[in-house]
Amino acid sequence: MKIFKFISILLILSITLNLTSCWNYREIESMSVVSGVAIDKVNSGDEYELTVEIIKIKAEKTMANKAEYITLTGKSMFDIARNMITVNNKKLYWSHAKCIIISESIARDGVSDIIDWFVRDAEIRTDMYLLVSGEKTAKEILTSPSRDSKIISLDLANQLKNEKNSFKSSYS
């Protein structure tokens, strides 16, 4: 009977120690954190141009973060997002994306294909801001110089969040 208790306790301890690991662990160095997205139509009209703003984190004394941009074209959002891995050599991590900027031409034609991809992807949160660009392209907004930080999508998200309290917003 004592041996049975000893083996039971040993078995329980070994199982609990083996079940404490992270099942979905990924190194931050192996991913690119997306903070914003700009979507335009290519001149032919049947392809999209996707520009992604990636946060480049520098571990220095000043902790100066900056943005890097990747632009690709393709027939669907899925193809473009998966092909960005070959350009960037890292998997895109979409959970921290704050805003999607679409061009006015896409907004007039309909955004159902674009929204469908964002909603179906498991990593993407649905609390992002959807913005329509008044500029010629949405990429112009995403790559414009920022006021406060070097990451425009974070500035846009903060301004939109604060706009609820001030009842007016201006960004130029």
pTM of the model: 0.76
Binning pLDDT at 50, 70 and 90, where does residue 38 land? Answer: very high
Has residue 52 got a pLDDT over 90? Answer: yes
pLDDT in tens, 14-25: 888 777 666 666
Has residue 168 got a pLDDT over 60? Answer: no
As a whole number of angstroms, the distance between CA 68 and CA 150 comes to: 10
Has residue 30 got a pLDDT over 80? Answer: no
Do the beta carbons of residue 129 and residue 157 sit within 8 Å?
Answer: yes
pLDDT score, position 166: 65
pLDDT in tens, 60-102: 655 567 888 999 999 888 889 888 888 888 888 888 889 999 9
pLDDT score, position 100: 92
**Better pLDDT: 16 or 49:** 49
Query: Each residue of 31-43: b (16+ CB within 10 Å) or e?
Result: bbbbbbbbbbbee
Binning pLDDT at 50, 70 and 90, where does residue 12 land? Answer: confident
Binning pLDDT at 50, 70 and 90, where does residue 40 land? Answer: very high
In the block, tokens 């914003």 appear at: 36
Closest to 67 (Cα-Cα) out of 85, 54, 52, 84: 54
